[in-house]
Amino acid sequence: MGKSKALFLAAAVASGTSFAANAADLLPPPPPVEAPPVDFGGWYLRGDAGVGAVQMSGWRSTLQPYDETGQSLALSGSYFAPAFAAIGDQGFIDMGVGYQFNSWFRADITGAYRTEANYRAGMLWANAFSGGSGGDYYNAGISTALFMANAYVDLGTWYNITPFVGAGVGIADHRFSGLVDTNGSGIGVAADRTQANFAWALMAGLALNVTPNFKVELGYRYLDMGSITSNPIQCLNPQGCWQETHSFRLASQDILLGFRYAFNEPPPYIPARPLVTKY
């Protein structure tokens, strides 16, 4: 009798275990455990080319209304008024080196050459004593060497496209060359001048991950390049020359197409694995 009870109990236990195993097979699999993000870093090279819509603001001539000595030109009966001031676009190319600190932050330094922009301006004048009037037309070129330190935040990657934002500071070294003043009575010229200014920039764009090491970027940059002043304009007849200079502030809205090549390849993606693996 005791043996029969023991056999019955063993059969019940075995049956219960089999039922529990079958019931477990009917349950949905547990959710996978996401692999933790893996940060990575390394050096990269970058290069860009583009065009900048240069903007000029705060244009001023020293003939408005004082000469360089502070004497009012109205005492001589001469009155001046600006007619226009404009500047053309600049093309540019830059190269740089940077470091990717982790999956979302990077920084680089770049050097760029910005081609000569055509500078044009005009002044109208009249003399109360003689009754004469006329105008001056100015023409020059402005080129720039730009050196920047930049920092970027990558905002995540979707379909191999990574949006980013950034900011930079640096130096804009301008060359104001070939300034010529043409009017009805003659021609004046100014010696070329170079001037280094503090520059700052704000950037945004998209990076296409062509390969783990190579990325193509399309970006926008607002660039403030500081103020610049010309050398005095020297006339052929020094006695009739006011030693005029021009000054204004430069900024640019740039469109950039570039690349980045990383020396260290990011770690491979680790797929998610379930909590329990059934064999």
Residue 73 is predicted with a pLDDT of 53
200 DSSP β-pair partners: 169, 224
Residue 180 is predicted with a pLDDT of 94
Based on the number of CB atoms within 10 Å of its own CB, is 211 exposed (0-12), middle (13-18) or buried (19 or more)? exposed
Residues 182 and 191: their CA atoms lie apart, in Å, by: 15
Which whole number is the average pLDDT over 250-265?
Answer: 94
Residue 63 is predicted with a pLDDT of 79
Residue 77 is predicted with a pLDDT of 63
Of the listed ranges 19-23, 126-130, 256-260, the least confidently predicted one is 19-23
Residues 159 and 43: their CA atoms lie apart, in Å, by: 24
Residue 136 is predicted with a pLDDT of 87
Confidence of residue 230 (pLDDT cuts 50, 70, 90): very high
Provide CB contacts within 8 A for 19, sequence distance 6+.
Answer: none
Residue 25 is predicted with a pLDDT of 52
Residue 173 has pLDDT above 90, yes or no: yes
Residue 279 has pLDDT above 50, yes or no: no
Q: If you average pLDDT over every residue of the chain, what do you get?
A: 82
- Name the pTM for this structure: 0.76
Residues 59 and 137: their CA atoms lie apart, in Å, by: 15
Residue 267 is predicted with a pLDDT of 59
Confidence of residue 7 (pLDDT cuts 50, 70, 90): very low
Write down the H helix ranges in the chain: 2-26
Highest mean pLDDT (candidates 85-99, 173-187, 233-247): 85-99
DSSP letters of 214-235? EEEEEEEEEEEEEEEEPPPEEE
Structure tokens at 203: 């950037």
pLDDT in tens, 34-60: 444 455 679 999 999 999 999 999 999
Which whole number is the average pLDDT over 241-251?
Answer: 90
Confidence of residue 214 (pLDDT cuts 50, 70, 90): very high
CB neighbours of residue 80 within 10 Å: 20
